[in-house]
Every structure is written in C-alpha cells, then in structure tokens.
A = this chain, B = another copy of it.
C-alpha cells in the first residue's frame, strides 16, 4: 500500500513541534502547542464547538468498529455520570487472535526509526487535537468532569502529556548514534577498527490500563511512550470510560495506516461487564510493558505478578497540605477552596489532609485559631460554590456510587466543619453533584488516625489539628513514607519551616508546592515543566515524564563488524 502520509511530509510538518518539545523539557519553561481556549478550535482548523458537539452526538448509540482482527463480539454499556446512556458498542477481542496480529507490524515500525515514529505520533496527537471538542464531550460523559475541565484536562493537557512522552522517548533513543566507527590504537601495529550499528528495539506489546477519571490524561503518557519506542500498544480502558480511549485508538489506527504502517500496532481491548480481563492481559507473555493508573491494590498486584513486563503504576496516595502561617490569608483560602472543589476532589492530586496547628496560625490579617482557619476555609468553599452554575462548572459530577458512598460516610468520621450539599444541574437532572465535605480530626487522637492515614478518594478533606509545625512535619513524613503522595502543599512564612518541609519532601521524594495563593493549584501540573508524581514514594513508581519513564521501554541492539 502506498502511504498517503509520507515520511518527508510528516517530518516537515511535525519536526519543528518535536524540537520545541525537546527544548521545553530541557528548560522546563512554559510551552504548549495545544490551545486551552475552546474558541481557538475551528479558527485554526479542527472542529469548532458546534461541530465537536455534533460529532459526539453522532457517536451515541452506534457501533465503533475499529476493524480489529479477532473481534468476537460487541460490548458497551457506558452510562455518563450526567445520566446519559452512551449506547456505544466496542469490539470485544479474542486476544489469542489480536495479540499475534499486533506483532505483525512491529518489524516495520521498528525499522522506521525514532524520528519517523515520533512524527507519526505527533500526527496522531494533531488529529486528536483537531477533535478536542468531540473528545471533551467523551471525557465529560465518562469521567463526570465539567465540560471546561474535560475540555482542558482531557484535551490540550492530555495531548501535552502525550507529546512530552514522545519527546522523552525520541531523546532517549537518539542518545546512542545509529552507527559508529571505533578505532583503537595498537602502538606500532595497525589499529583495531570496527563499524558498529545501534538499533533501538521494542520490548513487545505495551498494555495501557486506563482509569475512570482521566482516561486520556493518564492514558496518553504510557500509550505514546510505548508507541514512540517501537512497541505495539493495547489499550484496556476502564469499563466506565471507554469512549475517549476508543476514539484515540481509532485515530491512531487511521494515522498508522495512512503512513503505511500496520494499524494493528494500536488496538483496543474493551471488556464485558465483570470480565476483568486486565489480569489476563497483564500476565500474557506478549505484554512486556504495562502502564496503569488506579487502585493501590491492583497496582501492587501488577507489580508483583506481571513479572514479564516493565510495570509503571500510578496508585493511591494521601496528599497533605501543611498550613503553618501565611502572608496572604485570603489568597491561601481561595486557592485551597478551589483545589478542594475542582472535579469534586476526584483527582489523585487533590489535597486530603490539611495539617493545622491546634494553637492556630499567623497570617497577614493577624493570628487565626485552628477553628477560625477551618471555618474560614469552609466559608471560602461555600463562597466559591455558592452559585449553582459556577458550582456545576467547577465540580462536575460524582463519577461513581463508591465516591458518593465515601462522601456520605465521611461525615461520620468527625466534626463536620463544612457539610456537603447537593447541587442541582439543570442541564443534566440525573447528575450527582456534591460540594466537598471538610471534617475536623485530631492528629493526637489515635481513633482519628485510621481516617487521615487512608486515602478517601473524592470530595473529602480532613482538617487535622496538630501540636506544632514539627508535629505536622513528622506526620507529613510518615504519611508520605507509608501511604505515598502525589502532591504536597505547604503555607509558611517561616524560612526554617519552609526549609524543613522541603527537606521532608526531598527525603521522602514528594513534589512540593509552596504558598500557592494565585491561579496555580497544588492539584494541577503542567507538562514539559512539572513532574506528576515522583516515582519515589508509594503513590506511584514512575513520574510523568522523565528519562526513567521511557528508557526501559526499548533496548539497544548493537551489531559490530570489522571495519
């Protein structure tokens, strides 16, 4: 088949973007090629809001036939957290047919080399970017994110993370030259001379196990890191969040085919209800790489059992914000209120434990007692979410009944400083929309420990009274060491406390945000600049994205000959 997309075309089109990405990961300055503003789409190409909405509507109640080998049935059943039945059917795969078929195209993909693989990946991302409005609806109606968040986090930010992974993968593969001449002097004798070639070779098939809350944002790094390093990639979406990744797979297959490669290099493994195919897939000998986002239990299982594979996991953690003092009390409260509210706290990066000295804190507005701080924070959240339209735009919907149950149970764990309230969503009357609960706990009470030392995923935060900054630091250290943390925040005007919290984070390998009072939030990271997780505490064994995330997805095979 003649390729519709030729290598020179793809390189000419995407190499400048790749070079900018390579520069960005080196400087870690702000950069993104993917616009955040919905109105930017359509203007510069791609689907505008109306076209994206129409494209999404056209998907509903259809069969998404990807043309995959070994399709032995059709599965579906996604119900939006906003109440809509999506009615989309996906191919169910006979993996004994699909996996071998995925290997057929690997040699050509390997031989394409790092640069061509990178620009093919960039073409996939470009096509996805053009359809950001369509993807936004798909992410919204699987994750429960509000539209604007689904648009940004599920669109440009996810695409950024994918592109970042491609850039790291490319950089890693070209660290070793394709060929080398080696000439070793031998005194008066002729030198020894060898010609050497070095080829990055894939490990096999990468498996991406998607999550419910951020199917694209958490899925793209592993997908593109594995694909860019020459591996085929099988995408196993969360049963409640298939559509965004199925659309991704379809785009990838289209681009691969147009570029003259086997579309089966990327495939979808959707499952029947209760089928639980992740365990089966994860231990297949063909699967040599696994990227997983989800529960600690299953992440630990993968690390222990999928021994034939490189396993990259993002699991649960307990995120802490230490509140010791602040020079901008209002800014702190509004920043924290936003962090607790965004997507109803259903982010792996949302703060859970707010450690506040029981004797209170000093602020630019004078001292504030523990009770005052908690009450002021509760008021800040109430203020932020007082208007239902704004509340809906920030909170989105509760993603599944487990989160709702945890939210309801949380009120029984201690004194409720801020009760959760139901918010009506006029557009989607069946959506379950809830504001966060804040519960007071005492770090000195053994009975309270079970609550604040466990992850309570969802819109639940604990205002934990501590004896002192030193006590808070010790609890922070213990929490990160034992439970892991994707994020740590701290507010302090005391240079010594600041240095101490930095030291805890350096020693326990946790990512720290200090004194955030403006428009950057502890639960958000920017690709090309911020690391997401550290890979060095129990919350995750990998960071998005660094050299370690890509370097072991391929190996370099050397062939040497006498020159």
Q: CA separation between A556 and B532, bound complex, in Å?
A: 11
Q: In the docked arrangement, what's the CA distance between A536 and B514, Å?
A: 42
Complexed CA–CA distance, A107 and B507 (Å)? 8
Contact indicator A534/B516 (Cβ below 8 Å): no
Majority SS of interface residues in chain A? Answer: mixed
A71 at the interface (CB under 8 A from B): no
Copies in the complex: 2
A134 within 8 A of B: no
Instruction: Report Cα–Cα, A551/B515, bound state, in Å.
Output: 30
Task: Give every chain B residue within 8 A of A192 (Cβ-Cβ).
Answer: 518-520
Which residues of B are found within 8 Å of A203, using beta-carbon distances? 536
The answer, among B28, B519, B555, for a CB contact under 8 Å with A177, is B28
Q: Are B180 and A512 in contact (CB under 8 A)?
A: no
**CA A552 to CA B172, docked complex, whole Å:** 14
Chain A, residues 517-557, CB within 8 Å of chain B (1/0): the string is: 11110000010011100111000000100111001100111
Q: Which residues of chain B come closer than 8 Å to A520, judged between CB atoms?
A: 192, 194, 560, 562
Does A428 touch B at the CB level, under 8 Å?
no
**Residue of A177, A192, A535, A548 most packed against chain B (CB within 10 A):** A548
Report, as a range, how many residues of chain A touch the other chain. 35 or more
Closest beta carbon of chain B to A149's beta carbon, Å: 17
Contact among B30, B182, B514, B534 with A183 in the assembled complex (CB-CB below 8 Å): B30
Interface membership of A558, Cβ < 8 A: yes
* Chain A window 242-259, contacts with chain B (Cβ cutoff 8 Å), 1 for yes, 0 for no: 000000000000000000
27 contacts between A and B (CB under 8 A): A27-B180, A28-B180, A28-B198, A29-B180, A29-B181, A30-B182, A30-B183, A107-B503, A184-B526, A201-B506, A201-B509, A505-B557, A506-B557, A511-B557, A513-B559, A513-B560, A513-B561, A516-B562, A520-B562, A531-B558, A534-B556, A534-B557, A536-B555, A543-B555, A547-B547, A547-B551, A548-B548
**Nearest 3 CB-CB pairings of A with B:** A536-B555, A548-B551, A28-B180
On A, residues with C-beta under 8 Å from B are 25-30, 107, 110, 172, 175-177, 180-186, 192, 194, 196, 198-199, 201, 203, 303-304, 307, 502-503, 505-507, 509-520, 526, 529-531, 534-536, 543, 546-548, 551-552, 555-562
